[in-house]
Amino acid sequence: MGQAEPFHKLELELRRGVVVLATLSQLRGPRYGYELRQALAEKGMPIEEGTLYPLLRRLETQGFLRSEWRLEDGPPRRYYALNADGRKLLQNLTDAWQGMNDAMDRLLKEDPQ
Amino acid sequence: MNANDVLESYITDVAVRLPHKQRDDVAFELRELLTEELQARAAADGRDADAAMATELLRAFGRPEAVAARYRPALTIIDPADGSRFLRATVIGLAVIWSTGLLTRLWQPIQSGQGVLQALGQWWVHTVVASLWWPGMLVVGFGLDAWTRRRWPLTSKWEPRAGDRIQGGRAAMALSIVGILCGVFVLLEPSRVLDVFFGGRAAPAAYEALTYTDEFRQRPATWLLLGLLLLNVPMQFAVILSGRWSAGMRRMEVGLSLATCAVMTWTVLGGPILRTDASDQTARFLMVLIIVFVLLHFGIRLFRSVRPAPSLHGTHG
C-alpha cells in the first residue's frame, strides 16, 4: 500500500468535518441543490452530489434549514435557506472553525525540534 | 433504455428505501437535480445525454441503498467501539458450540465410516445451523447495550475497579465454599442425590446408574481428585479472610485448577466411572465439559491480562 490511499482516507475525514459548515455558509440566501453545488465548487469546495443533496434534507429535518418549492419560472426547484436556528449554528460552527484554524496555523508553523 | 429511463429506475430504487412521508417529495427533487446534473455533463461533453452517460453519473452518485441511508440520520445498531468485542464473542461462542456439539456426536458409539458421515451430518444440521441463535442473541444484546448507553449516558460512565477484588464479594465466595462441600458430599456417593430427592424410594436401576465401579473407587486418581477439590476450601477461606485475591493466591488458584483438570483427564481416560454405560458416558462427558470450561476460562484470563512493558520493536521510517 502506497502513501496515496492513507492520504485520501485522511483527506476525506478532514473534508467530512467541514462539509456542513461549508454548506451552511452558502445558504444565507435561498439556493437549490445544483446551484449550491456549483457555488461551493466555484469557491474551491466541491462536494459530491450524492453527499450534498441528502445533507440538505437532513439539515432541514434537524431544524436548521427552511425550504420551499418554486414551481414558476422554469423547472420546479426546491430552495433551501438558513432559518434562525441555522444562523445560530452557522455562527457557532464558524467560531469553532476559526479557533481550530488559528490553533492549526500555530501548530503547523512551529519550528521542527 | 434511454437516459430518462435510467434516471427513473435509479430514483425509484432510492425513493423506495425512504420513509413513506418523504418518498414522493425527495423523488421529485432528485429527478430535477439529476436531470440538471446530466444536462450539465452532456453540455460539457458536447453531445446528447444517453443511457451510458446517465449510468456513469448515477454510479458516481452512489448505490441507491447508500444514498437513501444518507437522507436519514445514521442508524447504529452495534457501536463501532464494540465491533471487535462483538466479533470476538461471535467467533469464540460459535467455536465453543460447534466443538462441544462435535464432541457430543463423536462421543456416541460409531460403528462404521457411514456412521461418521451420519454423525457429521447431524452435527451440521443440529449444531452448526442451529447455532445461529448465538450471533442473533449477541446482536440483540449489543444493540440494547448501545441503545442504553445513548439513552442514559450517565449509567455507562467508567468506574475504577480493583484488580484483586473478589468477584461477587465475600458472600459469593462463601456460597462457592458451600457448593464445593455439597459437591464433594455427592461425589463421595452419587446415589445420595436420590435419597435427597426421592427419600430413598427411587428405582433400583437409578441407584445402580449412580453407583461407582469398584475399579474406580480403588484408583489413586479418584482420591487425588477429591483431595484437590477439598484444597479449594482453605484457599477460598483465606481469600475471604483477607478480602482480596493476592498474587500468590491467584497463582495457587491457577495451579490447583490446572492440576484438577489434569487429574480429571486422567480419570476420564482411566476407564468406567459408573456402573451403567449411559450414566458413565454422561458423567465422563460432563467432566470433559468442565475441563474445557476451566481451560477456556484461564485461557481468556491469560488473553485479557495486561503487563505494561515497552515494546522492543520500534518503527523506522
Q: Which of B7, B30, B31, B33 to mutate to test the interface with A (most CBs of A within 10 A)?
A: B33
Q: Which residues of B are less than 8 Å from A55 in CB distance? A: 70
d(CA B102, CA B109): 13
Contact (CB<8Å) B36/A75:
yes
Find chain B residues with C-beta within 8 A of A53's C-beta.
Answer: 29-30, 33
Tell me whether residues A49 and B26 touch, CB distance under 8 A: no
Measured CA distances, B231 to B18, B165, B184, B238, B260 (Å): 65, 21, 11, 11, 10
pLDDT for res B191:
83
Q: Which residues on A lie below 8 Å from B38 (Cβ)?
A: none
| Residue of A11 and B164 predicted with greater confidence | A11
Band (B312; pLDDT cuts 50, 70, 90): confident
Which residue of chain A is at minimal alpha-carbon distance from B65? A50
Of B26, B32, B67, the CB nearest to A75: B32
CATH no. of A4-109: 1.10.10.10
Complex-level ipTM beyond the 0.90 threshold: no
Residue of chain A whose Cα is closest to the Cα of B64: A50
Cα separation, A48 vs A93, in Å, equals 21
Extract the C-alpha cell encoding B316.
523506522
pLDDT above 90 covers what percent of chain B? 65
Query: What is the model's pLDDT at position B155?
Result: 83
Q: Do A54 and B32 touch (CB under 8 A)?
A: no
Rg from Cα positions in chain B: 32
User: Percentage of chain A with pLDDT > 90?
Assistant: 75
- Please name every residue paired with A82 in a beta bridge, in sequence order, or none if there are none: A65
Nearest to B70 among A32, A51, A78 (CB): A51
Could you tell me if A31 and A79 are in contact, meaning their C-beta atoms sit under 8 angstroms apart? yes
Round to whole Å and give the CA distance between A71 and B118.
71
Contact B26, B71 (CB under 8 A): yes
Determine the pLDDT at residue B306: 86
* Chain mean pLDDT for chain A: 92
pLDDT per position as a tens digit, B156-202:
888 887 777 888 888 999 999 999 999 888 888 888 888 888 877 77
pLDDT mean over B226-233: 93
Q: What is the pLDDT of residue A112?
A: 62
Rounded to 5 degrees, φ, ψ at B212 are -65, 150
The model's confidence at residue A111, banded by pLDDT at 50, 70 and 90, is: low
How many CB atoms neighbour CB B213 within 10 A? 15
User: B67 with B14: CB under 8 angstroms?
Assistant: yes
The three cell numbers of residue B71 are 437522507
Kindly report the nearest CA distance between residue B273 and chain A, in angstroms. Answer: 60
Give the model's pLDDT for residue B316: 61
Interchain CB distance below 8 Å, A58 and B26: no
Q: What is the pLDDT of residues B113-145, one digit of tens each?
A: 788 888 889 899 999 999 999 999 999 999 999
Q: What is the CA radius of gyration of chain A?
A: 17
The tens digit of pLDDT for each residue in A55-92 reads 999 999 999 999 999 988 788 999 999 999 999 999 99
**Mutation for testing the B interface, residue in A37, A57, A67 having most B CBs under 10 Å:** A57
Residues of A with CB under 8 A from a CB of B: 32-34, 48-51, 53-55, 57-58, 61, 75-78
Kindly determine whether residue B67 and residue A55, on different chains, have CB atoms separated by under 8 Å: no
Q: What is the DSSP letter of B51?
A: H
